[in-house]
Amino acid sequence: MDELARSEAGADTRRWWHGTVGYQVYIRSFADSNGDGIGDLVGIHDRLDYLADLGVDFVWVTPFYPSPMADWGYDVADYCNVDPRFGTLDDFDTLVTAARQRGLRILVDLVPNHSSDAHPWFRDALTGPDSDHRDYYIWAAPGPDGGPPNNWIGYFGGPAWTLDEASGQYYMHLFLPEQPDLNWRNPAVVEEFDRILRFWLDRGVGGFRIDVAGALVKDDLLRSNPQIGPWDPTADRYEQWLAFDHLHDVFQPESHDVFRRWRAICDEYDAYLLGETYHQDPQGLADLVPGDGMHGGFWFAPMHIDWEVDKLRRVLAGPIDLVGERLLWAAGSHDVPRSPTRFGGGDLGRERTLVLNVLFSCLPGVPVLYQGEELGLVDGRVPEEAVLDPVDNGRDGCRTPMPWAPGSGNGFTSGEAWLRSEQRADNETAHAQVGEPDSWHSRYAGLLAALGTLPDLVYEPLVWTDGGYGPVIAYRRGPVGVAANTSADLHHIDIPAGASVAYATPGVRVDGERRLALTAHDAVLWVDRS
């Protein structure tokens, strides 16, 4: 436990999100209420009972703001409204109220690193250097060679600068040219977002997921990054990105001043402030979520590993002592291939994903499910001619529509889905799985129900009980123990006398008074109430 957590543990610092489970909704693909092929707010409203019955506590909804959709909503043209494709502000208010009635909170995605180039701020900025909103964005004169001001690379590949021919200056964009970066060194931008946060908090949101949380503030001198490898403008975007040591374009310490300010605002409303803290180094994550900044941040390493026990151990244990209850655990999201696909595909990948979620379940922090994970979904199949994602490695497979029912459109829409993909098998649908005893949905719902019966584990010390080697990963927090067999072989564990099993995957068997047999890719959660 880190020093801050130790101090917090002695005080009454438990917040509503401690001990909860979150659920990510990728709005375009969750549920379409009007047959236009695009998921919407009313569609989420109509599935709230499904989410409540599953047992999650809060729902993070991806951007629904007005947008040209150059990056599927992560290019915002109006931070205080709803895109007509997704509904209206009244629809949003109805969703928030209905969710609260079911014990759910709605969290919204805030995109503060950049806006859309269609935002009125940027359109005004383009009118010239003397415009009211010019300094809302990052502008610079050409470099000595007449090209970009420095060597910064966009995360989607290519230079992070685009020339505005009218003024002869470049504007900076960490992502697409249609996503110009905001200038967080301008106090006016800071004040704008104070108002934006309060706009949604006053409408009852439970908090915010901060997109690109590590990159808000840029180096004030716009210094070039050190080059640490060959850079090929035709290479994969990751290879381009990894050619540089990103000292000046991301992870600037001044970003924390913004997060501290937002935390104070969120604390007024008892709202959860969490970040897309895209870091795979434990210390780097800890630096992004100091105890006085955002309430939490996602740990991305589990989304980028192979199924190998030593790697699993490292990503599970690595950040705990540094970050503790500020962690968010997730096996997948809308930006990476679905975990069952990554972990071997088919039932093998599904079993491994469930095991990982059992391991997440009692660790310090908050686990989050990505929509459809509870159905055991692998990546959907998108025909080559139907691919839409602008990113070269493609994120379409993890974004295909949620399969609610058998038949055409899988119950997602009565029209043609925005992202064309092969129809899911009947047994992959929610209709086929809900209430079926051995379905993937029932296994996840059973896990979440079991978590609701456990003693409060917040700030309980974690002790690894597996010796640090072998295929079985096991730990204990207070009276609760978790064990998972990561291999295809049979392994046994012993539980304390008087302990009882709170949850187990189907292959777990009792093999003696205190002994459990864990068959291939099985996990168990037990509690000692003696």
The three-class DSSP label of residue 94 is helix
Give yes or no for a contact between 428 and 338, defined as CB atoms under 8 angstroms apart: no
The span from the CA of 451 to the CA of 525, in Å, is: 9
- Choose, from 49, 132, 268, 422, the residue flagged as catalytic: 268
How far is CA 59 from its chain centroid? 11
C-alpha distances (whole Å) from 35 to each of 217, 317, 400, 493 are 41, 45, 16, 51
- Choose, from 57, 178, 211, 396, the residue flagged as catalytic: 211
Q: Which 8-state DSSP code applies to residue 401?
A: P
The three-class DSSP label of residue 478 is coil
How far is CA 213 from its chain centroid? 12
The span from the CA of 411 to the CA of 156, in Å, is: 33
- Three-state SS for 503-518 is EECCCCEECCCCEEEE
For the question of residue 268 being annotated catalytic, the response is yes
The span from the CA of 163 to the CA of 84, in Å, is: 32
For the question of residue 211 being annotated catalytic, the response is yes
The residue with tokens 């979440």 is 448
Output the six-digit token pair for 48.
Answer: 């709230």
Give yes or no for a contact between 59 and 25, defined as CB atoms under 8 angstroms apart: yes
The span from the CA of 521 to the CA of 507, in Å, is: 8
Enumerate the active-site residues. 211, 268
